Amino acid sequence: MLDNLPRGTICIEDLEIGMTRSLSKVVTDRDIELFAEVSTDRNPVHLDDDYAQDTIFEGRIAHGMLTAGLVSAVIGEQLPGHGTVYLGQTLKFLAPVRPGDLVTAEVSVLDIDHSKRRVQLNTVCFVSGKPVLKGEATVLAPSRKFD
């Protein structure tokens, strides 16, 4: 048995279809600047007010993958939590996230394959109750048993 699993980690043996976890974060200018630095994605629609004003977004927006990173945080920290291995993720970007927006990332269990320790998760992000990102993730969940 694995006795040193972090508090809050949900092992596959304890997962149930429909289980849901979420987190909320205000996306700041600093978040966008740091993401641009780390990812090397310096598209001016994220960083330049004047440039972004003349785009279809009529203003600066956060990187889509910055928003998707909040989904990763829920998966890696809460559901299932530490020890989870990402196997895949689909994403559909539905609306822009702007500096100052409060984003809520929500992850729910759709399906569990106990024999393979695989879990299918519904992933969605909201701003003011409106979905801005949706998709599905497949993960390898932690287990109390050794393989």
The percentage of residues in the chain with a pLDDT greater than 90, rounded to a whole number, is 91
pLDDT at 28 over 90: yes
Question: What pLDDT score does 145 carry?
Answer: 81
Question: What pLDDT score does 8 carry?
Answer: 72
Sign of the four-CA dihedral 127, 131, 133, 136 = positive
More reliable by pLDDT, 3 or 121: 121
| pTM value > 0.85 | yes
pLDDT at 66 over 90: yes
Per-residue DSSP letter, 26: E
DSSP E strand boundaries for the chain: 20-26, 85-89, 92-93, 102-113, 118-127, 130-140
Which domains are present in the chain? 12-27+63-140 (3.10.129.10)
